[in-house]
Structure 1
């Protein structure tokens, strides 16, 4: 074969860390046989086929994932808050309960993914949460809404960490940044245009005697079910899987993918799963450092997705129609920044500086959003915060994927990225408790913190 690409090298020392304790130097893998080598154009063609089949498929599914979990604010201003009497902290509670199962089932999800396979597991949970979304269109009170949001969190729990892990098994370390970026970019498009879609669905108000906000859940849920079925047909398995659920690559091409991953980081071979070894991954401080980086970014992006339409109406004075449409431009800008920084990161093998740059954008935007006098200037701050926060999600994923070796350890780390959002749950739980205790103090004259010296009947918790 002419113009054959050079092998990755005959002498490569690979460090393998055994449960964070012993480090051994293994001999380099055997050189790739000629049958596994392709010309540069052939290699690029193989990678493009994987991109189209894997990145686009799970990216579209992540798009509906974000659409389904973040449409609460759109439904709220469309009348749900009034019709279901979501007074006090009921709306916040409905948002909170999503995260409890969403966090608890992160780690088990990546184990199930390996055992069952991405095609069956991811396709099934997408169809399941699509059914929950349709059911949310028929809830009659806030208790039923809370129950549906809990189920939604349960079914969506495994999707994001599973996709992060699956992508890392198909690409080398300095290819994965752009792929994470495109994957998350499709989700950003969902967040950006969800307001416009929601406003269109609101116009169905009165059809079949259903309110407009109900149609938001019903139509988006039906769309999710359809895409979940499509996902089952298109999602690819791990390159080393014996299930061979993919047909877009022949065996030689798949062997080449496995060989290049082996030469890039040397963790293609999957050891037998042992729960103790899996949990020992948590002893590596880097795992929690990546989780904290991800949390600091995700807290910003979730806050925006749940409150941006409400902020545009209540704090900036825009109408409902204007607010639903004005959600889109900041996310379009975020997509440009996201892919641009990912390209730079992969091109120049940078991860940390990209994360710092994105956080600087947030630090510029947040004061503008919070303290600027005019609505247009505050809206400009939304652009900076949205771009910096959302661009850092794929940057943080690439950071950990590049620096964690071992299949089960990367599966554990992918789960902890999102699991660290437990801090958000703790804050919201405190807020609910503080709200209830303040109400008790106002109605019954209960003295808060009465065991402290100089207790005051005027003291109230801040939430």
Structure 2
């Protein structure tokens, strides 16, 4: 094999004429069918350049969209220490309900979100959602009592329901499975960046005193208007799919599309499939993700809403509490990206999640047992609890990488986000301002949830291994090779160190394009070439 052949990472059928499109085809295959095999072949360096362009455009837009969603959602926690309860005359569990209602709205919206994401372009859906929730937060600045705040928090949550499903759908659409874990961790890490920047912004805005509006109204208005402005950038710059991306030239669109074939996940066709819906609900691994995400969301929902109040209960004033939330954000960023990096290197997400759950477990025990006089130890425990932030994005990536079929991908994500919303509704309600400063009920519940998510994620890989064995047996029955290299999870820089993925093998696989389901709208359970990742 000469150097030229060695550079070719993805090779189309060897025929010079356009490939034959199967009867059941996708837009991606139609797009590629209009180009010859030579046009579809590309080198590693070409692919690397295209990925860089995608990262600079799509990833950056997703990062800041998620940042603004987290900033707007967390604004309630920031303003809680500036007298929101007194200014809005909140009593009992009313503040807790302001935290829970946002996720209750997201819970109600998830079925509609899944349908919309199948039917409409993800880029346009994301831009519209950002515009609408930014507007809702701006309007919330006019709310001065519990009923009006509750109503607008519900509206805010309804539009924010689109953000995580959009981000997951966009990640599945643009990156190979080996690249998805880090991309998911990047946009989730904006949660920690929000804690840092949001704390600094709140610290500054909190010093503004006015006789006409409360401090919390200033913060709501500032964050909301900034979000509205960002929405227009998404409308202008976000492409809807690799096939339609105007920011890429024709050659780059071909590479961006063809390289996703190895995912065996298909590309969006905007067609709703009821058989995919049924399979989603009958698939055991769907419920593994569901119960794991409920457990971690119960903990994160309570900590996210009451975190500032918990720190303040250690004996700090309002402005000290804001500053102590900055390290909280730093720990979140480190845990999210660090866990994703380890999972990418080891390709063992279940084990990494189970190991990561140990840190917040220790933190919760410290916060429950250490006397309030030991502020440093309590803060250390609080920062250990913040490591829980690394678990949710890992679950997002894990379910996304193990699901194929456009409708099934959206429905599985929808069920996962229903679990996330359910947990976040329950979480704040386990805390009450009446239990200050100990908040024992909430912390004990969080401790139990950390253990639960560790157990579930420690057992799930065994089921995925079983599914891989079933697919291997099916391939043998069909006369295919039982052992199949997972091209989507192989590190491209080490590609040529493996005999299993030499270019001749790739040519053999691509030569039978009519039997390849990589770009077809086929579910993972019905595609014997699909390989599950642990």
**TM-score (normalised: structure 1):** 0.82
Distance 1:179 1:426, change over 3 A: closer
- 1-side partners of 2:133 and 2:113: how far apart? 15
- 2-side partners of 1:404 and 1:195: how far apart? 37
Aligned to 1:393: 392
Aligned to 2:364: 366
Aligned to 2:173: 169
Is 1:37 the counterpart of 2:50? The answer is no
Aligned to 1:438: none
Alignment of 1:31-430 (within 5 A): 33-206=37-210, 209-240=212-243, 244=244, 246-268=245-267, 270=269, 272-275=271-274, 277-314=276-313, 316-373=314-371, 374-387=374-387, 389-420=388-419, 421-425=421-425
Give the CA deviation at 1:232: 1.3
Q: Contact conserved, 1:59 with 1:187, CA < 8 A, in 2?
A: no
- 1-side partners of 2:430 and 2:322: how far apart? 31
Q: Contact conserved, 2:105 with 2:161, CA < 8 A, in 1?
A: yes
Give the CA deviation at 1:430: 9.4
- 1-side partners of 2:424 and 2:70: how far apart? 17
Give the CA deviation at 1:275: 4.1
Give the CA deviation at 1:427: 7.2
Q: CA RMSD in A?
A: 2.6
Give the CA deviation at 1:102: 0.7
Give the CA deviation at 1:329: 0.6
Distance 1:336 1:155, change over 3 A: same
Give the CA deviation at 1:179: 0.2
Q: Contact conserved, 1:177 with 1:395, CA < 8 A, in 2?
A: yes
Size of the aligned set, in residue pairs, is 409
- 2-side partners of 1:296 and 1:369: how far apart? 19
- 1-side partners of 2:404 and 2:74: how far apart? 33
Q: Contact conserved, 2:100 with 2:425, CA < 8 A, in 1?
A: yes
For structure 2, list consecutive stretches of 5 or more residues without a partner in the other structure: 14-31, 436-534
Q: Contact conserved, 2:118 with 2:406, CA < 8 A, in 1?
A: no
Distance 1:269 1:185, change over 3 A: closer
Give the CA deviation at 1:335: 1.1
Give the CA deviation at 1:113: 2.3
Structure number with greater CO (CA < 8 Å, separation at least 6) is 2
Question: Which stretches of structure 1, 4 residues or more, deviate above 4 A after TM superposition?
Answer: 29-32, 426-432
SS in 1 for 2:8: coil
Give the CA deviation at 1:326: 0.6
Give the CA deviation at 1:278: 2.4
Q: Contact conserved, 2:105 with 2:157, CA < 8 A, in 1?
A: yes
- 2-side partners of 1:264 and 1:281: how far apart? 19
- 2-side partners of 1:116 and 1:149: how far apart? 26
- 1-side partners of 2:9 and 2:59: how far apart? 27
- 2-side partners of 1:34 and 1:131: how far apart? 49
Q: Contact conserved, 2:104 with 2:425, CA < 8 A, in 1?
A: yes
Aligned to 2:530: none
- 1-side partners of 2:36 and 2:413: how far apart? 30
For structure 1, list consecutive stretches of 5 or more residues without a partner in the other structure: 11-28, 436-463
Q: Contact conserved, 2:266 with 2:404, CA < 8 A, in 1?
A: yes
Q: Contact conserved, 1:126 with 1:224, CA < 8 A, in 2?
A: yes
Give the CA deviation at 1:158: 1.4
